[in-house]
Chains A and B, each alone.
Chain A
C-alpha cells in the first residue's frame, strides 16, 4: 500500500482476495467495503456477516490486584462478574468524561487468580494502556499486558450466526449466552468466543492467535456460504451500530462527555464505593445533565453527518455527532446532543442544518432499529 506506516491485520490477504476497498483507519489498513455498503448491512440484519476487527486493542489484566484495579477504573461493578461474564463499560477521567468505552470479559481464573480481557478502541489503545498503568497500585500483584499484536479479532454477526457456529462444531448448548465468553477449541484452533458485538444483532466475537486467524476466517466463511454470509467492512459496521444507537467513541462520546450525558446510566453502578469520576456522575444523576443524547430521523432525504447544528423553534439547541442513511429503515437518521431546555420527546420537531440549509427532522426513540425476536 501507499502508506508504509499502516499496519496490516493477519487477514490482509483475505481482504485483497475478496476485493475489499482498503482504507487507513487508526493506523491500520482496513477493509471499508467489499460490496455495496447497503448489501453488506442487510446481510448482517437478515443472515450473517463476517468482520475483521483485529484493529481493536486487547489487554490482559491478571493477578490478585486485577479486580481492584478495574473496580477503580470503570463505573460497572466488576465484583459482580462471574467467570465467563462480559460487561460494556467505560474508562472515565476524574471529571467523568469518557476516555474510552470498552468491554471487559472475565475469563476463567488462571493460576488461581483473576484473568480479565479488555477490548478497547484501536484509536485509543495507547492512551487507555497508559491510563490503566498510571492507576495501577505498585504494591499489588497485577499484570497489565497489551496482547493486541499477537491476536486477531473476528466478529460473526447476524441472526444466523448461531447456526454457522453449530456447523463448525460449537453446538447450541455449548455456545455462550449473551454477554458471556467461553474459551474453546474449534477445528483444533484455540480461541475465545464471546456473545458480544457492535451491530444490534445476535452474534459472537472470536479472539484468536494471529497464526490461526486465516484458518478460522476460512472455516466460518465457508460454513456461512449456505446461510448467505458476506464479508463486512468498516462502512457497514458504522451504519449497523448507528441503527442500533450504539455510541462511537470520537463521534458520540469523548473525554468531555460523561456516561450519564450519553444515556449510558444503565452501565453505571453508583452503589459501588468508589470509581474514578463517580462524584460527578452521581451529581449528574441527582441534578440532571445540561445536555441530552438524542436520536432523530430526517423528514426528507438529506443525510445528516457529524457536526451539523440542531435547531428548534429557530434557536440552536445542539449538534449532531453521527448520521447516515439507515439501510434497514430507508430514511436518514442521526444522533446528537441537545440542551436540556429543548423539547425532545419522540415526535418533537427539530431542524438540522445540512450545508447551509435547515431541513426538518423529528426526535425518535433509540435504538432506531431493534433486532427481530428470534
Chain B
C-alpha cells in the first residue's frame, strides 16, 4: 500500500513531515516511518502553547518494536495537538497524513524549511 504525501508537504531525514496551510503547519511522521516503527501503542504529545526551536524534541512515539523521538523540522509554537492519539495511537499507522497528524504549529519561518526535503526528494532518500 502506498500512501501519497499531500501537497505543500516537506519531510525531514528523521522522517517527520510538515504540511504548510497558510500560517499554520501540520506536523506528523511519514508513512515510511510509521511502517518502520510497526504498531504504534503510545504517543507523548507536547502541551498546547509550547514554543520549540528547530531540532527540539516535541514528542515521543512508542511502538511494539521501538521508541522514536519527534524532532521539530522548524521553530514554532504549538497551537493544537491531536488528542485522539492518546486513545488511538494506531491512527498514525492507519493514516499518518490525515487522522494521524500529531501537532499543529504557527509562528514558523519559511526560511527554516531550507533543511527539509521536498516530497519527491524524500521518496528518493528513503529508497537509497
A residues neighboring B (CB under 8 Å): 33, 36-38, 235, 239, 301-303, 305, 324-325, 327, 354-355
Contact = CB atoms under 8 A, between A and B. Distances in A.
Nearest to A302: B62
Given A235-B65, A301-B42, A302-B42, 9 more contacts: A36-B39, A239-B64, A302-B62, A302-B67, A303-B42, A325-B41, A325-B64, A355-B67, A355-B69
Interface of B: 38-39, 41-42, 44, 60, 62, 64-67, 69
A354 B67 contact: yes
A303 B60 contact: no
Main SS at interface, chain B: strand
Contact of B39 (A37, A302, A354, A355): A37
A33 B66 CA distance: 15
A37 B65 CA distance: 9
Contact of A235 (B64, B67, B69): B64
A355 B44 CA distance: 13
Contacts of A33: 38
> Closest 10 A-B residue pairs measured CB to CB?
A301-B42, A303-B62, A37-B64, A325-B41, A36-B39, A325-B64, A37-B39, A38-B39, A302-B62, A303-B67
A38 B60 CA distance: 21
Contacts of A239: 64
Nearest to B90: A36
A39 B38 CA distance: 13
19 contacts: A36-B39, A37-B38, A37-B39, A37-B64, A38-B39, A38-B64, A239-B64, A301-B44, A301-B62, A302-B44, A302-B62, A302-B67, A305-B66, A305-B67, A324-B64, A325-B41, A325-B62, A354-B67, A355-B67
Contacts of B67: 302-303, 305, 354-355
B69 A301 contact: no
Contacts of B62: 301-303, 325
Contact of A355 (B41, B42, B60): B60
A301 B64 contact: no
A252 B66 CA distance: 18
A247 B39 CA distance: 24
A37 B42 CA distance: 15
Contact of A301 (B41, B65, B66): B41
A239 B38 CA distance: 14
B41 to A, nearest CB: 5
Contacts of B42: 301-303
B40 to A, nearest CB: 10
A301 B42 CA distance: 6
